[in-house]
């Protein structure tokens, strides 16, 4: 039984190692690639900065979505037409908005994209701080006993003292 468990552990380790070594798969099809290596290198460099608007976490070279294919074709057509890298990016931004860029510029329209995570983290930290501050303040306050609780405590102490004097109770 121990040998079987060990072999399963090694198999799981091997699978994890293979997954870790596998790089990202690129969805660029050979028919999309440009024949000029310099233009293709520029297209790939531009594509690394362009978000797939369907997948949203992948650039267009990594995505198999139809819109990513269309964007790859647009990038390459623009480059073949003589556009600069910035002109290609501006064309895509004009068509799809700043969202198409994986690193959108910092401006009024993208303010929340850049500051949102920090604002949420600050709000969560402030909430935790206030919660612990409030509970720490109430935790150390002595709450006075009401009359019934006070009478019960006095009876308990009186009975406890009587047991200790008689020697039947536990002195601790």
Q: Give every CB contact of residue 150 below 8 A, 6+ residues apart in sequence.
A: none
Give me the residue spans of the domains in the chain: 21-105, 108-141, 143-172
pLDDT of residue 133: 86
pLDDT of residue 172: 53
Q: Give every CB contact of residue 54 below 8 A, 6+ residues apart in sequence.
A: 63, 65, 66, 67, 68
- 21-105: CATH architecture: Orthogonal Bundle (1.10)
Phi and psi angles of residue 129, each rounded to the nearest 5 degrees, phi first: -60, -50
pLDDT of residue 124: 97
Phi and psi angles of residue 51, each rounded to the nearest 5 degrees, phi first: -80, 140
How far apart are the C-alpha atoms of 72 and 28, rounded to whole Å? Answer: 8
CB of 159 within 8 A of CB of 153? no
pLDDT of residue 9: 77
* pLDDT band for position 167 (cuts 50, 70, 90): low
Average pLDDT over residues 63-78: 91
DSSP string, 131-157: HHHHHHHHHSPPPPP-HHHHHHHHHHH
Average pLDDT over residues 73-95: 93
SS3 percent helix, strand, coil of the chain, rounded to 5, is: 65, 0, 30
CB of 51 within 8 A of CB of 101? yes
Can you tell me whether residue 97 is helix, strand or coil? coil
Beta-bridge partners for 50: 101
């Amino acid at each position: 039984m121990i040998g079987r468990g060990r072999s399963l552990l090694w198999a799981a380790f091997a699978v994890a190692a293979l997954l870790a070594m596998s790089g990202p798969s690129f969805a660029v099809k050979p028919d999309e690639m440009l024949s000029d290596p310099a233009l293709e290198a520029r297209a790939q460099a531009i594509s690394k900065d362009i978000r797939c608007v369907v997948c949203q976490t992948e650039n267009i070279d990594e995505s198999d979505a139809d819109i990513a294919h269309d964007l790859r074709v647009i990038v390459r057509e623009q480059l073949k037409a003589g556009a600069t890298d910035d002109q290609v990016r501006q064309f895509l931004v004009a068509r799809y908005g700043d969202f198409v860029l994986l690193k959108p510029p910092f401006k009024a329209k993208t303010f929340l994209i850049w500051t949102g995570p920090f604002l949420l983290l600050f709000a969560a930290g402030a909430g935790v701080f206030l919660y612990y501050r409030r509970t720490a303040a109430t935790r150390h306050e002595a709450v006075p006993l009401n009359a019934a609780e006070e009478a019960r405590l006095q009876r308990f102490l009186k009975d406890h003292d009587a047991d200790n004097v008689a020697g039947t109770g536990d002195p601790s």
